[in-house]
Amino acid sequence: MKFKMKFTTLSLLTALGGTSYAQTPIHVTFALDRSSSNPNEVKTFRDAAARHAKDTVSALKMGDTVAVMAFGDGGLSNFQLTKRVKLSARMRPSQVGGALEKAIIAKAEEAANKPQNETRLMSFLEESHREFQCASGNAKVIVYTDGIEHSAELTGKQFVLDKKPLPDPTPGILSGCHVEFIGVGLGVNGALQRPEKRHITDAWSAWMEKAGATFEARSNL
C-alpha cells in the first residue's frame, strides 16, 4: 500500500508537470506595415498574409494569446490595433483566426489607401516589447513588411542603396521574443535585387541579436 501511494503520487506529479509544460501559453503578435513602400499594398500579398495569419492562429491552443498591431510613422499610441485575445472555449482558434483574416485584409486595404510616409520599424519593435509579451519568454512577432527602415534615424536610401547598418537597439530589449519578417524586399514596384534583400536581412539579423531576439526573414509566404 505504501509503495502504491508513492507510485500514485509520483504519477500525479509527473502528469501535472507535463500538463503545465504543454499549457505554457504562446503570445503571438501580427504586425502590419502601413508605409507607402510596403508589400501590404499589393492585393495578392495582403490576401496571402491574411490567410497565413488565419492558419497560424487556427493552429494555436487554448490559453495562447493573439494581438494585431500596425506601424508606420507615429509613436506607441498609434501602434495598438487590437486588444490581446486569449484563446478559449468561447474564443476558439478557428473562430479568432477567421475574424483575424478579415481584419487584416480590411486594415491592409485601409493602409494602402492612406499610406504613411515613414517606416519606423526600429521604434515600433523597441517601444512595443511589453505589448509583445517578450518577458514571458514565449512570444512571437510576425511582421508583414518589406523590412526597409525609413525614419529620422536612417532613411530608406541610406539603408538599402548605401547599405548602411541599422543603429544599435537597446541591448536585450526583445529578449524572449522570436521575430519573423515576411515580405522582405517586396513592394508596390516589385522586388528588390538579391544583394539588397541580403543586406536588409543581414542588418536586421545583427540588430535582433543585439536586441536579444531570435530572428528569421523571408520574402514570400
* CA–CA separation, 71 and 37 (whole Å): 13
Asked if the structure places residue 3 within a domain, the reply is no
Asked if the structure places residue 5 within a domain, the reply is no
* CA–CA separation, 63 and 22 (whole Å): 10
What pLDDT does 41 receive? Answer: 76
Asked if the structure places residue 18 within a domain, the reply is no
What pLDDT does 166 receive? Answer: 97
Domain that holds residue 105: 28-73+85-218
Asked if the structure places residue 11 within a domain, the reply is no
Asked if the structure places residue 68 within a domain, the reply is yes
Alpha-helical regions (H) of the chain: 2-22, 43-58, 93-113, 121-127, 129-132, 156, 194-211
Kindly give the confidence (pLDDT) of every residue in the chain, 221 residues in length, as a single tens digit, with 9 standing for 90 and above.
443 333 333 232 233 233 333 468 999 999 998 887 777 778 888 899 999 999 999 999 999 999 999 887 765 555 556 789 999 999 999 999 999 999 888 888 887 777 777 889 999 999 999 999 999 999 999 999 999 999 999 999 999 999 999 999 999 999 999 999 999 999 877 899 999 999 999 999 999 999 999 999 999 87
Q: Which three cell numbers stand for residue 140?
A: 512571437
What pLDDT does 78 receive? Answer: 55
Burial of residue 126 (CB within 10 Å: 0-12, 13-18, 19+) is middle
179-205 burial, b if ≥16 CB within 10 A, otherwise e? bebbbbbbbeeebbeeebbebbbebbe
CB 123 within 8 A of CB 167: no
What pLDDT does 10 receive? Answer: 29
* CA–CA separation, 81 and 71 (whole Å): 9
What pLDDT does 107 receive? Answer: 82
What pLDDT does 25 receive? Answer: 95
Q: Structure pTM?
A: 0.86
What pLDDT does 5 receive? Answer: 33
Asked if the structure places residue 13 within a domain, the reply is no
Asked if the structure places residue 169 within a domain, the reply is yes
Asked if the structure places residue 99 within a domain, the reply is yes
- CATH number for the domain spanning 174: value is 3.40.50
Report the number of distinct structural domains present in the chain.
1
